[in-house]
Structure 1
Amino acid sequence: MNAAGFNPSERHPDLEMLDGYWSDGNQARLPINGVPECFIDLDPSHGTLTLSVPADGPEPDLARFRSIELATYTDGGDVWWEIRIQVDDSLHEAYSLLTRIADLVQLENQAVAVATYQALEAYRLLLASRGGMSDEQQTGLYGELLVLEHLLRTLSPELIVPAWMGPAKEEHDVALPDVHYEVKSTKGEHRRHMISGTQQLEPLRGVPLWLVSIQLTPTTPDAGRSLIDLVAVVRGLSGHRLPRVNELLVSAGWRDRDADLYDAHLTLRSKPRAYLIDLSFPALTDARIAQVVPSASLVRDVSYRVDVTQLDFAGPPSPMDAFVEIPEEKTE
């Protein structure tokens, strides 16, 4: 059974057969026996499934759904509607939704609009999950792209792009051979950052780890840049590593078709700061928790906020030292 809780009826090719058609990479048409005539077109190269059904009654209003669109065409004097879904990672759910509409039209004699709304209601959780990134996700990606842009302007894409680990959910956001960076961004007035897990601020394999704190604030288009702008810049700096950057952007939640959602412009509220994760940094790690918590191995899903506003910051290795604020040298 698919994630939405539905399987296509026995009138349709099963999901295993669907996967076979899709993996072939070629366009295919799957007729649906019944009255009125209906069929589903598979277009793997464009990532779409399309249900074609004769127009009947009022036109379904799909404007509020981001992943579904309606098109009209005429064939031999007959008017047809195309209900097209952008599949992304939900091939089975999209297929099941379209076959459900066809079943309601052919087997229960429902008007296309009624059948569509009824099927969409059953799949509303699926459709809701295809919205844009949350504000927190956007802020986090914005900060990582700022760091990536800086590094790509000073070092080669061959070194930097493979080092970008944030979207891949690895322990640290940027893992260079001799230094790691965990990038944290906030729109707040204080440098308060959410830390997820006990590994996020744990140096690995003896490689120094720095937390890069970025404060952002909304601004006007002439005074800042949008997430759209940053994505374009990083793509332009990525050279032949662009395909990998595009994969990582998708993993981070970016979809080009949703770009209009990310036109808000931001700028730095203050100069970024960097903090070396050493014994004096207030990080919750497995080793520290084990020292004070009985049966610490049973503790799961640790998350906490750390406020580094008043902590001493420092200068990380080049070229990141040019990205952050460097503290003034203390005089005796």
Structure 2
Amino acid sequence: MEALSWDNLKDYIDTGTAAVCPIGGNHALSLFVGPESVRIGLRIPYSGELAVETGLYRELHCTIVMVQGVRSIELSTSSQPLFHSFYLFAYAIADLIESQERSPPAAIKEALDRFGLLLNEFSLLPETTRLGLLGELCFLEALVKARGSNFVEAWLGPVPQRHDFRLDDNEFEIKTTLKSKRQHLIHGFGQLETSPGKKLFIVSLHLERAGPPGGQTLPQKVAEVFRILGPDTTSFENSLGKLGYRKMDEIHYKERYKFRSAPTLIKVDESCPRISRAILSPALTDELLRRFGEMTYEINVDGLGTVQGTTAYADVVPGPLGLGLS
């Protein structure tokens, strides 16, 4: 069996070049890279039934395809952080088929047993969740630097509370976006409703991806918060755990981000776009309002609020937010 090196396969991935690369051997196995590198996969010619349970693995897709008249098992993934793991997984299957004469279903099952933990991305956070966590950690870092490590308790995001942070009489929703405009998803009627006796603010973080050495990855931000907290990190560790963040997954979180524009503070008042039951109530009866479930909607806050670096911003936010190694 002729091994295609990872570096050679990565050349196709990095350039977005679609390719089919025969593995060699006696079973006509091949690796492929899809157009624009949206996925990579392994094709195994096979005419029998495929009785292998792959549905447990969110990022591993398995189907039967016809390619140039040949019926094949096609295994693939669209998760770029897992491309290298998939490459190793594919060659484990190929070795079992070519060198140890396993049937394709038996080889797939055995390789799944070996590589299941690498391919099971139920434990990995999707990018939207990672971005949200990164934004909250930017705010938490600024808060701890300004007020001290005890203020880690002001972070309410990991527990079932309406808003991300509560500090004195102010509450904060941290919203992070990679879109070209400051467009943020709002989850539910209550997310932009102010608690009694409090003032509510949106902290809008407008990010873009950054190449090394610029910006910061999520694991780097986590490490920075650990560093400034000092020896007592129990509460922070517990909060990360509740959000599904695990140190063992950090190798997959390689994306670097930087600010596209300065953080912006927006007071939730009459000039802030939002939907709430109170706003809808003049137009709808109580009976109709009760029939609405939770909803998700998007708001555009371009041009609203005050930006980091102004007095009005500094009067409310405990310190400057940063994305970069200090």
Moved over 6 A (4+): 118-121
Measured after TM superposition, the shift of residue 177 of structure 1 is: 2.3
Where do 5+ consecutive residues of structure 1 fail to align?
1-64, 67-110, 325-332
Measured after TM superposition, the shift of residue 317 of structure 1 is: 5.5
Match 1:256 to one of 221, 224, 247: 247
Q: 1:17 is matched with which residue? A: none
Amino acid in structure 1 at the alignment position of 2:144: L
Q: 2:302 is matched with which residue? A: 309
Q: Distance in 2 between matches of 1:221 and 1:317?
A: 30
TM-score (norm 2): 0.59
Q: 1:197 is matched with which residue? A: 188
Match 2:291 to one of 289, 298, 306: 298
Q: 2:228 is matched with which residue? A: 237
2:122 is paired with a residue whose SS is coil
Q: Is the 8 A contact 2:174 2:204 kept in 1?
A: yes
Where do 5+ consecutive residues of structure 2 fail to align?
1-56, 59-102, 322-326
Match 1:173 to one of 164, 171, 183: 164
Q: Is the 8 A contact 1:161 1:241 kept in 2?
A: no
Measured after TM superposition, the shift of residue 173 of structure 1 is: 0.6
Q: Distance in 2 between matches of 1:320 and 1:275?
A: 11
1:141 partnered with 2:133: yes
Q: 1:320 is matched with which residue? A: 317
Q: Distance in 2 between matches of 1:239 and 1:251?
A: 21
Would the alpha carbon gap of residues 312 and 175 (structure 1) be closer, same or farther in structure 2, given more than 3 Å must change?
Answer: closer
Measured after TM superposition, the shift of residue 114 of structure 1 is: 4.6
Measured after TM superposition, the shift of residue 221 of structure 1 is: 2.3
2:202 is paired with a residue whose SS is strand
1:147 is paired with a residue whose SS is helix
Q: Is the 8 A contact 1:226 1:264 kept in 2?
A: yes
Would the alpha carbon gap of residues 179 and 312 (structure 1) be closer, same or farther in structure 2, given more than 3 Å must change?
Answer: closer
1:247 is paired with a residue whose SS is helix
Q: Distance in 2 between matches of 1:249 and 1:142?
A: 11
1:150 partnered with 2:147: no
Measured after TM superposition, the shift of residue 161 of structure 1 is: 1.0
How many residues end up aligned between the 2 structures? Answer: 212
Q: 1:330 is matched with which residue? A: none
Q: Distance in 2 between matches of 1:163 and 1:171?
A: 13
Q: Distance in 2 between matches of 1:128 and 1:292?
A: 47
1:217 is paired with a residue whose SS is strand
Q: Is the 8 A contact 1:190 1:307 kept in 2?
A: yes
Would the alpha carbon gap of residues 286 and 120 (structure 1) be closer, same or farther in structure 2, given more than 3 Å must change?
Answer: farther
Aligned CA-pair RMSD: 3.1
Would the alpha carbon gap of residues 242 and 318 (structure 1) be closer, same or farther in structure 2, given more than 3 Å must change?
Answer: farther
